[in-house]
Structure formats: structure tokens, C-alpha cells
Amino acid sequence: MDYSISFADMLGAMSQTDEGWTTAVPQSWRQGRTCYGGLTTGLAYGAAIATFSDLPPLRSALVNFTGPVGEAPLFKATLLRQGKSLTTINVDVFSDGKLGARVIFAFGTARDSVIAKSLPITPPPKPLEKFKRFTPKLVEPLVPNFFLHFETRLIDGHRPMAGKGDGYIYAASRHKDDASRKGMAGLLALADVLPPAALPMTRKIGAVSSVNWMINILTDDISTRDGWWLVDTKLHGAGDGYSSQPMNVWDANGRPVIQALQNVALFL
């Protein structure tokens, strides 16, 4: 498996066609029979800002994972509405002529407001590099391909297949590639890095598939220390083969950056 191609490489290699933007996605960025969802979202963001210039900061994204995304996806960005402060852009992701994902981005200019609230967390008490590797070396052949493009450390909760009943994962993660750590696209590519929160509850091995992903951006300051982000996910409910999980991203100092919610199909 070739892990030499980074997220920044794919983003930088995006080329424009008559129908949209495309780039090649190697096997090392796949998750089963589709591209990793964070990668699809990050590249869709890249297509949006490449198509429409002078956009304000990203405020939210609604992602529907419709079907498999293959090795040469096509990203078609269209303007849904441009208001005084909010611009809404739809990016359809096609694979072999079929819709693989639909992403609606909302870009908004900042405005004065009497309401301001932030809920930071206390960062871990020791350097993030000192926590145990999320994936021990012996287990690397068993994890989805894309996961090995990231350096991820387990802070709290449990790994998948632990047979624990809490449905919680809290970790620190960063792109292994330094150039991929910069900007909103790189953050979106990382924000979905954790396994579904339901997986620590079972010892069975089975397939999982994200159905959707709703993302709120809490700040336009997308920066952190040494590329590290604190990420967590917690199971809120599961049944009939589906689960719901809130997800959070903080910078390395505990400043909140992303709040999200995801529905996951569980085939186990």
C-alpha cells in the first residue's frame, strides 16, 4: 500500500474539466469500497472555493453520503444562493457517473452580536505525543486504509471491538503530512477520523457506513499547535442498525472549533 500521497497532494492536484473538478484518490485513502468521508468532504470544500472566489469563512456543512466514491471522483459546485452575508454552495460528488455524496456549504461574513459564548475544555495534562498510539503496530493491517495517514493518540474511552459499554472515544490526531495540516480543507479531512462511537461496545467485526454528517464551524480561526487537534465522539443512541453520535473538535489548547452530528449505519 502506497502511503506517500497526502491530502495536500490530492488537493493540489485537482484539475478543472468541463463538468467540474477531479483528482485521483489512491487505495491508501479508501475506507472499504469508498473514499474516506473526511477526504470526500475536504476535497468538496476545495472544489467550492476553487469555483467561487472571495468567499467568506465557512460556517457549516451538511454532508449526505449517497453511495460509493471511487478513485477518480468528480466535484461539481453550484451556487444555491448569495445573500448579503451568507453564501450557500452545493457540491455534488460523482463517481462513474453516479452520485456519491452531496455537500451543502454555508459561508458567512462575521457580524457584530451581543451574544458570544464559548465552552473550552481543559487540555490533557501531558504532551499529546506521550499518549498511547490509537492503533498499535500489530493492529495496523486491520484498520481502514485512510487511518494510517493520521497520527492518532487515545486520551480516553476505548478502541473499537473493546467490548466496553460506554460508546466514547477521545483522542488527539493530526495529519502525518505537514502540508496537509494547514487550512479548513485539511481540518475537514481530519474531523471524521475517529471510528464510530458505537464500535467500542462490541467485540464483533463488521462493516459501518456514514449516512450523513452535519458540521458547525465555531470560529474562523482555524489554527492549532503542531498540527494537533483534540477530537471526540460519544454514542447518543443506537437501534435497528443505525446510530447517532455528536462529535467535537478542539484545538490543542482546548478551544472549541467544530461541533458535529453524524448518523452511522451499523452492519453488525
Buried b (16+ CB within 10 A) or exposed e, 203-222: eeeeebbbebbbbebbeeeb
Residue 83 has pLDDT above 90, yes or no: yes
191 near 173, Cβ under 8 Å? no
Q: What is the largest CA-CA distance in the chain?
A: 54
Predicted local distance difference test score (pLDDT) of residue 143: 93
Looking at the whole model, is its pTM more than 0.95? yes
Total residues found in the chain within this entry = 268
Q: Topology of domain 7-267, per CATH?
A: Porin (2.40.160)
Predicted local distance difference test score (pLDDT) of residue 29: 97
Q: Specify the range with the lowest mean pLDDT, choosing from 5-14, 87-96, 148-157, 196-205.
A: 196-205
- Work out the mean pLDDT of the chain and round it to a whole number: 96
Q: What is the mean pLDDT of residues 41-45?
A: 98
Choose among 126, 93, 143, 120: nearest CA to 219: 120
